[in-house]
Structure 1
Amino acid sequence: MILDESDASDRRTLAELRADPHIEVIDRWDEQKANAQSVLPPLAPEIMAESKRWAFYPWRKTVVSILGPRSFRALRLDRNRNLITGSEQDRLSRLKIGVVGLSVGHAVAHMLATQGLCGTLRLADFDTLEVSNLNRVPATVFDLGVNKATVAARRIAELDPYLPVEVNTSGLSAAAMDAFLDGLDILVEECDSLDMKVGVRLAARARHIPVLMATSDRGLVDIERFDMDPSRPILHGLLGDIDLDELSGLSNREKLPYILRLFDIQGLSTRSAASLVEIEQTLATWPQLASEVSLGATAVCEAVRRIGLNEPLASGRVRIDVGQALDRVAEPAPHDESSPSGADCAMAAEPPESAAHLIVAAAANRAPSAANNQPWHIETDPNSVTIELSTEHVATLDVDYRASAVAVGAAWFNARVAAAKHGVLGPADIAGHGHRLSAVVKLADGGDPNLARLYEPMWLRETNRHRGAAVALEDGVAASLEAVAAAEGARLQLLTGADEIADVASIFAASDRVRYLTQHMHAEMLSEIRWPTTDSMESGIDMRSLEMDRWELTGFNIARRPDVIRKLAEWEAGAGLGNYTRARICASSGFGVVSIQGDTLADYARGGSAMEAVWITAQHLGLAVQPLAPVFLYARNDDELRGLSPDFAAHLGSLQERLRALTHTRADESHVLLFRFSHAPKTSVRSLRRSLGTVSAAAMTGSG
């Protein structure tokens, strides 16, 4: 309430306030008048002649003397000149600006008022102020429990009692939306609700009102000039053609991928991106800092100034990253902005029907291997096919070439299947010494009906990473798979109990966390992924084959960032990094462990043969099969565990012991590979292979 001493009614009200012992009276009008007289050039006589005013603040039980409206404004905004000229200030004072969401929006609204960038403010928020808001909302403990819009309006009134501020404390329903937006020149949207973000933009676009938004992370600012382009998609089209009614029906978890689309995952600060992994783990909600909120308010105010003064300002998005700027204080070196070129995607064409020995070699080349690294050299002639272990493509997890030996054994099994089908299966053997390993199939008249019947299923074998469903295994399936493993000299331990599978899931989730948080393993993991638009697909894991939903892909894109991973490691956090594998194991019908007696490379190769036999048979029986290898799978002692991850060696050893106990693995047995079996749709894409490295006939490429 503003009281004018020259008005008789106001004088009576002022007298009543002065008489109230609970009302404080503050009178510094003489100081204000003297300050006004020092303005250059001097204020016009009619402005200086304004009568004395009094502002009453009921929430403070205080009456304060102030200059008249024109002299107060001239003095208060005097220090804006010439950053904002007097004429520009007059133009800006005609703007009506709405602010929705008064946590971050509080700083925006207050700065708009402070700089005199508007003539009317309209504020909307249904929420009340809590202690946890005080890390970024410039309020006080006296404001706790008060509506946030009211808190902001009071603070603005104490700054400029003449500025009209309209307050909506009940939220923006469809009916209230019309009244709130009516007559606005600019809308600032800073609410938490995705539904509201979409709803207010649709309504603002219909009225040709530009929308501004600041996100308190690395100074992200969004500008949508619906006044210039009313056909522009809301939120830059990042949400696609989303329907508001459909959006309103989604759960918070279902909305999160949409929200993260808006915030540019790769552009998030390391701490913010890493914190996303911790939400609902060690954090209740998204963290924010007052400094970032203030930075966002600064950017929004500059955008308002440009719009209000009709200066160039396009729709789009920009980051004003103070931290990044400070990192460049010390004489920045020239920076090459060129983008790396994509990898060569050319691959040899698949040949037509070939001689039997070439088909056998192609079948061997179709075998699975860790990360599809194909660690073999295949030599063939009409009398034999020889598969030799190659150390050319070895990764950290391939401890002492044991994973490579498993792959050689799988290739050997495939070669035997193809030879049996074509009636040329002769003697077959695996021989190894030290790190040398070879698997040979002699080609001569002969066959094996049990192997031959797996020929077509062998070509169809694939890794199925769909989550699937935990439908109980049919009668006889477990016995069939166990028999197949035994026929190859190995043992299959099958777990089907929900509690057992949940325990396995927790072990694998913990192992995945270690793989992410160990720098060299994280880098190797990312190097194994192939992106169809940029990478050659002859080796590695096709990104599409991971069968990630939008939520999982969002998490993966965050976890790709080394800086995020380093921060999670620093925080000793990242439990959510294992959620992808945990969810899939928990959705399994069964979990299988192939074990072999012995620990030489030849033993692991024989185990690989059994592994491939189980895999092909399980898929032929209608199961979706996904191989799984924890970080510690091929480590056999403490030194090898330390070689995997020095910081997590003891933890990996504990996980290894838990898994061996859970799967009833005997002391003389080595784990070859682990499987999850489920019921799932067909895979989206099958892996490719390199062309055969050393073949006496034309090179060929297997695919599937």
Structure 2
Amino acid sequence: MHLNNETSKFIKDSISRSQQHKDTYKPVFYRINNPEEEVKLNNLLKEKPYIQIFDTINNQLKDLVKGLSPSVMYNENTLNEAIQKHLQDQDIFRYGVWAYYPWLEKLVHILDEEEYILVRTNRNKHKITQEEQDLLGQKKIGVIGLSVGQSVSLTLAIERGCGELRIADFDVLDLTNLNRIRSGIQNVDLKKTVIVAREIAELDPYLKVVCFDDGITESNIDRFLSENGQLDLLIDECDSFDIKISARKKAKELGIPVLMEGSDRCTIDIERFDLEPERPVLHGFVEHMDMSVYKSLKTMDERIPYIAPVTGIETLSPRMKASAIEIMTTISTWPQLASAVTYGGGITADISRRIMLGDLKVSGRFFIDIDELIADKKEDTEKSDKIIEPKWSVSEIETYIQSNNLNGSEGESIAADVIENLVKSANKAPSGGNNQPWNWHYLNSTLHLFMDKSVAGAYLDPDYISSYISLGAAIENLLLEASINNLDVEWKFTPEYLPNHIALFRFKTGHIATEQNKKLASQISSRHTNRKNGIPTDVNQEDLLHLQQLTETIEGVSLQWLSDDEQKKTLGEISGSTDLLRIFTPEAHQDFISKEMRWTQEEIENSADGIGINTLDLSNNDQIGLRLIKDERAVTFLNKINGGSAFKKMSVRQFLSANSIGLITLPEASSMNYLKGGMAAEKLWLAAADLGYQVHPVNVPIIFFYKQNFQKENDLSLANNRHILQLHQKFKELFNITDNIAEIFLFRLFKAEKSERRTIRKPILKTLSFGNE
């Protein structure tokens, strides 16, 4: 549809008029008792006859008269008489002030300043006494950032919690802001400072508002804090982390208290630099960091270590944690809600008043979490936790050996320090979640290997298959270490005693190690799990063939490779899907966050097992993502919104960066085959390390495949069983394998720098004991 010329001209003229006042936020006052002011007002009305005029002065005078004499009971006649007496025969038309709002093109008749403030704050009493109101009227408050800051500023203005308000924001209003900022669509693309200042002026034209339209910068921070009188309180609601720090440092130098409210869980930060001049900024959360380098950091991954301590990753609400995981996948930025912004503004204004009046002197971080304060009563539910079997004592071990006739003396007696050395190498084998499920006992010239069932049997250790793989790897290390120590080993599995007793070993001196065994054994100490993205290199088919032939020296073992990018991508998607399933399955999630992961250095050192988050080769962003999923409620919500695609993307990225993907299989799923598969996996891993490759085992998919196919008591839901079945079908097609094949060990093979940090191992005395011979 085309507009006619007249309509088009009218619209253009209207736009032109509105643009004349785009940055205007101060009303023009006309006190027409003054002849010069009356002439100016007349000229304005002649120039703009379309101006709307509002005259409610009589209503305002009624409120004034009632407020001045609160004990008098007025009727309509006596109230009018009181108004006339107050006017002292002055023309009501000329009484007070005519305020013109250029951006509204409205003229409003109001009381003059003193009477206007008196009437407008009358209903504050005695929640705020007159003396307190007068004191607040002398205070200067600065607000940086006008999202949450808009709600804070307007609430301060409504309550008249200060006499001067300085507001700073460099941004304009976007349509996306209207989910939390109270404004109109007509204000889109208008400066946020102007919008807030106008709203305050329309509420209280006498409240002094000073706008800093460029936000806070190094060049204006001193003016913001000190020009025309120092601020009495700084309220920080800005998004810029470096401004948060620099503004606080300046405020600390000047002794200005700082208040900040985070709309998530209504997090309140109070820093009383006026009372505690030596107090570290942001409660010391960033004291250990060199903040001078922050501005030079270009990526979010570089900035995360600075930001995370301030936002409090662990203390975010469950939905915010879930949302943070989804940023840059299903959403583009941090979410905020109008309800949280609104009550955050009210709480901040309330705390501001208490600070200004000297009623609150505390510093610190506080939470006013409505979801926790007002919530449905939680039902008492009994959890059917698995019974954790206690670790066997030495006497229990020896009783078991004797009662099952596992003792023997055919081997030579080996010195304790040699046995310790063998076991130390064995214990360097990989294990699922670094649970280290081995327990060694040397008795009557025989070394016994037991499964430590006190650490085995987790959700991703169904029927102990993961522990069997780990024990098989430990056996391979033991045999290699014995070989280079010139020890011949007579050993055997003890399948009739599984899962308690795994194998026994007897030693004789005089063995000569092969060059191959020497190579493999030399890598035992340096072998480690590397989860980095690989460096793109061409696949060396000779290396793959060598690794395959070596691995398949274990009876029944088969090793297959996939190197095609599309196949790797599909595998990455399968792996990512099972990673999400692991997170979304409550028992698996609980095992992951409490049994497997170690979140602090103290936890790592105290437990001497599990996987330290610092060993995962993750970016700062990915580390934060991992910490966010510690919260079961966040994970539940993430599942509800079908979230978590970031984990899938990370998995695909890792798979595509690998030279090849390998899969070790055996003909059937049995305890013995998982033990053999563990030996084969360790042999392959050591050989790969000798060739300069890194290995990243990715066993979550094949464990879920086992649960769906073979687990004695499958606890998966019908929907999850179907999902896994579909994933498994794709997986089998990729590797061209048939049903009932035991998929033992899936891994990425790639070139990359070695990992800087390694998982810790238990002290030898916790895994090895000696009997009395």
TM-score range, shorter chain: 0.7 to 0.9
Residue 671 of structure 1 is matched in structure 2 by: 743
CA distance in 2, matches of 1:468, 1:148: 46
Of residues 470, 478, 485, the one that matches 1:415 is 478
Return the alpha-carbon distance in structure 2 between the equivalents of residues 28 and 320 of structure 1. Answer: 41
The question of 1:308 aligning with 2:356 is answered yes
The 2-side partners of 1:141 and 1:552 are apart by 38
Structure 2 unaligned segments of length 5 or more: list them: 1-27, 72-81, 381-390, 392-413
Question: 1: distance between equivalents of 2:87 and 2:366?
Answer: 44
Change (3 A) 1:164 1:479: same
User: Are residues 141 and 359 of structure 1, via their aligned partners in 2, closer, same or farther at CA, if it must alter by over 3 Å?
Assistant: closer
Distance 1:249 1:369 in 2: 38
Aligned counterparts of 1:140 and 1:226: Cα–Cα separation in 2: 38
Partner of 1:64, secondary structure, is strand
Distance 2:299 2:612 in 1: 31
CA positional deviation for 1:435? 5.7
Matching residue of 2:635:
565
Q: What's the TM-score, normalizing by structure 1?
A: 0.87
Distance 1:318 1:137 in 2: 24
2:155 touches 2:345 (CA, 8 Å); kept in 1?
yes
- The 5-angstrom pairing of residues 445-460 of structure 1 reads 446=511, 449=514, 450-451=516-517, 453-460=519-526
The count of aligned residue pairs is: 681
State the alpha-carbon separation in 2 of the partners of residues 366 and 256 from structure 1: 33
Q: Aligned equivalents of 1:331 and 1:565: distance in 2? A: 18
- One-letter code of the match for 1:13? K
Residue 447 of structure 1 and its aligned partner are, at CA, apart by 5.4
Distance 2:623 2:344 in 1: 28
Q: Supply the distance in 2 between the matched residues of 1:596 and 1:199 (Cα, whole angstroms).
A: 62
Structure 1 range deviating more: 568-577 or 674-683:
674-683
Question: CA-to-partner distance for each residue in 1:474-521, whole Å, 9 max, x for gaps?
Answer: 674323211210212322223445444443333222221111111110
Following superposition of structure 1 onto structure 2, how do residues 482-497 of structure 1 map, counting pairs within 5 Å?
482-489=548-555, 490-497=557-564
Match of 1:336 in 2: none
1: distance between equivalents of 2:482 and 2:378?
67
Distance 1:204 1:513 in 2: 45
**Which of 272, 277, 284 lines up with 1:237 in the alignment?**
284
8 A contact 1:371–1:540 mirrored in 2: yes
Which of these residues, 31, 39, 42, is aligned with residue 59 of structure 2?
Answer: 31
1:13 aligned to 2:40?
yes
The answer to whether the 8 A contact 1:5-1:53 is kept is yes
Question: 2:752 & 2:539 partners in 1: Cα distance?
Answer: 9
State percent identity of aligned pairs: 28
Superposed displacement of residue 216, structure 1 = 0.7
Q: Which residue of 1 aligns with 2:731?
A: 659
Q: CA deviation at 1:110?
A: 0.9
Q: Which has the larger radius of gyration?
A: 2
Residues 498/234 of structure 1: CA separation in 2 closer, same or farther (3 Å cut): farther
Q: Shift in Å at residue 52 of structure 1? A: 2.1
Asked if 2 retains the 8 angstrom alpha-carbon contact of 1:470 and 1:588, the reply is: yes
In structure 2, the residue matched to 1:225 is 272
State whether structure 2 residue 508 is matched by structure 1 residue 481: no
**1:372 matched to 2:429:** no
C-alpha distance in 1, partners of 2:772/2:135? Answer: 79
- 1:403 match: secondary structure: helix
Corresponding residue SS for 1:222: strand
What is the CA deviation profile of residues 232-274 of structure 1, one whole-angstrom value per residue up to 9, with x for unaligned ones?
Answer: 4433332343435642542344334433321212221111111
AA in 2 matched with 1:271: R
**1:6, distance to aligned residue in structure 2 (A):** 1.1
- Any gaps of 5 or more consecutive residues in structure 1? 334-343, 345-351, 700-704
- Cα–Cα, structure 1 residues 370 and 590, in superposed 2: closer, same or farther, change >3 Å? same
1:358 Cα deviation from its structure 2 partner: 5.7
Structure 1 residues 386 and 516 mapped into 2: Cα distance closer, same or farther (>3 Å)?
Answer: same
- Whether the 8 Å CA contact 2:444–2:771 is kept in 1: the answer is no
Q: Deviations over 1:191-210 (max 9, x none)?
A: 22223333433444444433
**Which whole-Å CA distance do the structure 2 matches of 1:310 and 1:432 have between them?**
76
Contact 2:702 2:746 in 1 (8 A): no
Shift of 1:379: 4.7
1:533 aligns with 2:602: yes
Partner residue in 1 for 2:397:
none
Identify the residue that residue 138 of structure 1 maps to in structure 2.
182
Matched, 1:127 2:154: no
Decide whether aligned partners of structure 1 residues 258 and 453 sit closer, same or farther in structure 2, where only a CA change above 3 A counts: closer
Query: 1:324-473 counterparts in 2 under 5 A?
Result: 324-327=372-375, 354=416, 359-361=421-423, 363-381=425-443, 383-389=445-451, 391-392=453-454, 393-430=456-493, 432=495, 438-444=502-508, 446=511, 449=514, 450-451=516-517, 453-467=519-533, 469-472=535-538
- The question of whether the paired residues in 2 share the 8 Å contact of 1:416 and 1:451 is answered with no
What SS does structure 1 have at the residue aligned with 2:53?
strand
The corresponding residue for 1:680 is 753
**Partners of 1:73 and 1:47 in 2: CA distance:** 17
Within 2, Cα distance between the matches of 1:664 and 1:28?
85
After the TM superposition, which residues 594-613 of structure 1 pair with which residues of structure 2 at under 5 Å, given as runs?
A: 594-613=664-683
**Could you tell which deviates more after superposition, 106-115 or 165-174?**
165-174
Kindly indicate whether residue 120 of structure 2 is the aligned counterpart of residue 76 of structure 1: yes
Q: What is the CA–CA distance in structure 1 between the aligned matches of 2:306 and 2:97, rounded to whole Å?
A: 51
Change (3 A) 1:149 1:698: farther
Q: Say which is worse superposed, 679-688 or 437-446, in terms of deviation.
A: 437-446
Amino acid at match of 1:368: P
Question: Would the alpha carbon gap of residues 646 and 525 (structure 1) be closer, same or farther in structure 2, given more than 3 Å must change?
Answer: farther
Deviation per residue, 1:553-605 (Å, 9 max, x gap): 32222111111111111222122245665554444344322222222221222
Separation in structure 1 between the aligned mates of residue 532 and residue 765 of structure 2, nearest angstrom: 28
Secondary structure of the 2:416 match is: coil
The 8 Å contact of residues 473 and 682 in structure 2, kept in 1 or not, is answered as yes
Partner SS for 1:54: strand
Q: Which amino acid aligns with 1:324?
A: E
Q: 1:312 to 1:48 in 2, by over 3 A?
A: farther
Q: For 1:635 and 1:61, how far apart are their aligned partners in 2?
A: 71
Which amino acid is 1:201 matched to?
Answer: R
Q: Contact (CA 8 Å) 2:30, 2:37: kept in 1 or not? A: yes
Deviations 1:615-654 (A, max 9, x none): 1222233333332212443634746585356542222222
- Conservation of the 8 A alpha-carbon contact between 1:127 and 1:147: yes
- Of the structure 1 ranges 22-31 and 293-302, higher mean CA displacement relative to structure 2 is found in 293-302
Larger mean CA deviation between 38-47 and 526-535 belongs to: 38-47
Match of 1:616 among 683, 686, 690: 686
Letter matched to residue 493 of structure 1: Q
1:156-195 aligned at under 5 Å gives the runs 156-181=200-225, 182=227, 183-185=229-231, 186-195=233-242
Q: Distance in 1 between matches of 2:601 and 2:149?
A: 42
**SS at 1:418's partner residue?**
helix
- Report the equivalent of 1:258: 306
